[in-house]
Chains A and B, each alone.
Chain A
Amino acid sequence: MKAIWATFSRELRAYFFSPLAYIVLFFFLVINGIVFAIIVTSLNDPRSPAGPPLELFFGGTFLFWLVLLFITPILTMRLISEELRSGSVEVLMTAPITEGQVVAGKFLAVLTFYAFLWAPTLAYAGIVAYNSKVDWGPVVSGYLGILIIGALLLAIGTFASAVTKSQLVAAMITVAILIPLFLFGLLESMFDGEVAKQVISYLSLANQMDELAKGIVDTRRLVLCASVSWFFLFLASRALEDKKWR
């Protein structure tokens, strides 16, 4: 536990010491601010149908996914590949710590930073609440969705970072996994069979996010998401261990 905590706190600190973190934070907030403004403006148009703005904000637009597609590799690419490149992995792995603990500490750090990125968007909920009524249930489940889907994406990024010494390659692997994952839900309309449609719709991340934004918490989906994340983290620790053998 102590070893995980040591890696976690070091890694989190590293995020806040790098200028990259603030650049990411800046653009992240600018883009989300624009998205939120667009949503609110269009909902204020008397011709548009009424709808809860926060529900649309959480995954209701493709911009949500675009932002995730960009920030995931930016946040995770450095995580393990930098240790492999610089060689600090050598002193790290000769300390009394396991590969799993290293991966866990680093993953928790990036997840915390990711949560920190989203934290200012709570203000949007506050703005809506100030001007009209907010149903807090879906807001909570929406943030849960952001966290759990974020965890999945970051786990994939962590894995990619453990595979290679190069941050660039790690980022590309991450994007290469994320794009099909995001587009997967679109396959639904291409299949005719009921079963196939159901399976795809169940696995689609977009559907999951929609449901959570509406306040529907399906534990099966959460468990699936969590176990896939865990699987990728497991792969990451295996990849790190495997580095020793070459």
Chain B
Amino acid sequence: MIEAQNLTRRYGDFTAVHDISFSLAEGEIVGILGPNGAGKTTTIRMITGFLPPTSGRVTVAGKDLVDAPHAARRQLGYLPENVALYNEMRVEEYLAYRARLEGLGRAEARDAIGQAVERCLLSDVRHQIIGTLSKGYRQRVGLATAILHKPSVLVLDEPTVGLDPKQIIAIRELIRELGRERTLLLSTHILPEVELLCNRVMIIDRGRIVAEGSPESLRETQVGNPAVRLLLKDAPEGAGEALGTLPGAVSARPGASEGSWIVEHERATDLREAVFRAAVERGWVLLEMTRERASLEDIFVRLTTSDAAAAPADERPADASPADERPADEGTADETPGGETGGSAPSAARDDNDADEKEVVS
């Protein structure tokens, strides 16, 4: 539905986006991830036709943005990062204005407005003046305008930024629902959002795509060894050495707090039992033990931080997994989900919870 070829955008001497190519198939929900200033918004603006690319081309639903701008824009619904509305208008008036701008007929517009209002849960504020609406409602008005003309592609630039947790959940629900029937391109720097919503992720850093794939495949290819994180009472001596030499363990390093350890292990093994037995044997009091699953956050930090030392060591999975070790890992990794190791399904469910917690923080 969206085809971007070799997009480059320069502002003076500064190259904001550097030769980016990608495509979105029908019905896909794709997330663009990247730190602030990575070129997300520039990329999105080029796709929506607001910014002409310095070089490269974009087609939307087969229509070239330069050759057939109107036809291409009709296929596109766009929610920009800062939803700017006309504050003196009422919600319904504004939607009517947008419908006219999109070239909808009178009856058509009435239906479209009714549907958009209903879907975006705006019926309470239909007749309210836009200037008096809260940020969440404004965002929904923005979304309503984006879907008003029933575009086949929806482009959302940081749709949940600046909303309270409850509003975030509502907007996400809406996005997920909208994504069922259209192609959706979503930019965000809230990582759990991507994991929750997207089939595919593109990570952009300094104007280039540094990684692309489904959240799961990114996890598999980009992350080193799994790890177990534990907390021992009174920080017993020699624990690091003992943990590091457990069968299957690769390394053990101290965590952030006193007595906490992060033990990396090979993919094929589950180290938890061994850790437990080691603790019992040596008389350690085990206060906490969790499996560390690499989140997109880790991948993101690893890919977008030029100076690796700048990232807090605790947050990062070990960088130390040598590239030549990886094929072997992947071969054995296949067994893991089916094995007694705990299964991927429950941990995926737990991930959702994690994600919800994190979003409140971010």
Are A and B genuine complex partners?
yes
Name A residues whose Cβ lies closer than 8 Å to a Cβ of B.
Answer: 2-3, 5-7, 9-10, 13-14, 17-18, 83, 86-97, 244-246
What A residues does B73 contact at CB under 8 A? 94-96
From residue B316, how far is it (CB to closest CB) to chain A in Å?
A: 36
The one of B69, B84, B88, B93 in contact with A91, judged by C-beta atoms closer than 8 angstroms, is B84
What residues on A are CB-neighbors of B84 within 8 Å? 83, 86-91
A83 to B85, CA, bound (A): 9
B12's closest neighbor in chain A, by CB?
A246
Q: A91-B80, A244-B51, A246-B11 are in contact. Are A10 and B102 (CB under 8 A)?
A: no
**Alpha-carbon distance between A14 and B142 when the two chains are bound, in angstroms:** 19
State whether the Cβ of B320 lies closer than 8 Å to any Cβ in chain A. Answer: no
CB of A6 within 8 A of CB of B101, answer yes
Q: Does B100 contact A (CB under 8 A)?
A: yes
B48 within 8 A of A: yes
B contact residues around A97 at 8 Å (CB): 101
Out of A6, A18, A90, A93, which one reaches B97, CB within 8 Å?
Answer: A6
- Contact yes or no, B82 A87, CB < 8 A: yes
Contact of A10 among B11, B52, B86 (CB under 8 A): B86
Complex contacts, B80 vs chain A, CB 8 Å: 87, 90-91
The closest CB in chain B to the CB of A90 belongs to B80
For the complex, give the distance between the alpha carbons of A86 and B78 in Å: 16
Nearest CB in chain B: distance from A71 CB, A: 20
Tell me, yes or no, whether B76 is within 8 Å of chain A by CB: yes
User: Is the Cβ of A10 less than 8 Å from the Cβ of B97?
Assistant: yes
Query: Which chain B positions have C-beta within 8 A of A5?
Result: 100
Q: Of A5, A88, A91, A93, which is in contact with the most chain B CB atoms at under 10 Å from its CB?
A: A91
- The verdict on B70 contacting chain A, using a C-beta distance below 8 Å, is yes
Q: Say whether B88 contacts A90, CB under 8 Å.
A: no
Q: 27 A-B Cβ contacts within 8 A? A: A5-B100, A6-B97, A6-B101, A7-B101, A13-B89, A14-B86, A17-B88, A18-B88, A87-B84, A88-B84, A88-B86, A89-B84, A90-B78, A90-B84, A91-B78, A91-B145, A93-B49, A94-B48, A94-B73, A94-B76, A96-B74, A96-B102, A96-B103, A244-B51, A244-B52, A245-B52, A246-B11
Q: Is the CB of B52 within 8 A of A96?
A: no
- In the assembled complex, the Cα of A10 lies from the Cα of B100 at a distance in Å of 10
Q: CB distance B101 to A95 under 8 Å?
A: yes
The interface of chain B, by Cβ under 8 A from chain A, is 11, 45, 48-52, 69-71, 73-74, 76, 78, 80, 82, 84-86, 88-89, 93, 97-98, 100-103, 142, 145
How many A-B pairs with Cβ below 8 Å? 69
With both chains docked as a complex, state the minimum distance between the C-beta of B209 and any C-beta of chain A, in angstroms.
23
Residues of A contacting B88 with CB < 8 Å?
A: 14, 17-18
In the assembled complex, which residues on chain A have CB atoms less than 8 Å from the CB atom of B50?
Answer: 90, 93-94, 244
Interfacial chain A residues near B102, Cβ < 8 Å: 95-96
B78's nearest neighbour on chain A, judged by CB, is: A94
Extra contacts, 7 of them, besides A10-B89, A91-B78, A95-B98 (Cβ < 8 A), are A3-B101, A10-B86, A10-B97, A17-B89, A90-B84, A96-B102, A244-B50
Contact A6 B70 (CB under 8 A): no
CB distance from A18 to the nearest CB of B (A): 7
Beyond A17-B88, A245-B52, whether A6 also contacts B100 by CB under 8 A is yes
A2, A5, A96: residue with the most chain B Cβ atoms closer than 10 Å: A96
- On chain B, the residues within 8 Å of A92 by CB distance are 101
Query: Across the two chains, which residue of chain B brings its CB closest to A246?
Result: B11
In the complex, the chain A residue whose C-beta lies closest to that of B70 is A96
Q: How far is the CB of B56 from chain A (nearest CB, A)?
A: 15
Residue of A nearest to B85 (CB): A88
Instruction: Determine the residue in chain B with the shortest Cβ distance to A105.
Output: B101
By a CB distance below 8 angstroms, the chain A residues around B100 are 2-3, 5-6, 9
Shortest C-beta distance, A20 to chain B (Å), equals 11
- Report B-chain residues with C-beta under 8 Å of the C-beta of A245: 52
CA distance A90 to B50 in the complex (A): 6
Q: For A88, what are the chain B residues with a Cβ–Cβ distance below 8 Å?
A: 84-86
Give the complex CA separation of A232 and B88 in angstroms.
28
Contacts of A95 in B (CB 8 A): 73, 98, 101-102
Provide the residues of chain A in CB contact with B85, threshold 8 Å. Answer: 88
Chain A positions within 8 Å of B74 at CB level: 96
Contacts of A18 in B (CB 8 A): 88
Q: Return B168 CB to nearest CB of chain A, in Å.
A: 22
The chain A residue sitting closest to B75, CB to CB, is: A96
B101 contact set on A, CB distance < 8 A: 3, 6-7, 92, 95-97
A6 to B102, CA, bound (A): 9
> In the bound complex, what is the Cα–Cα distance between A6 and B101 (angstroms)?
6
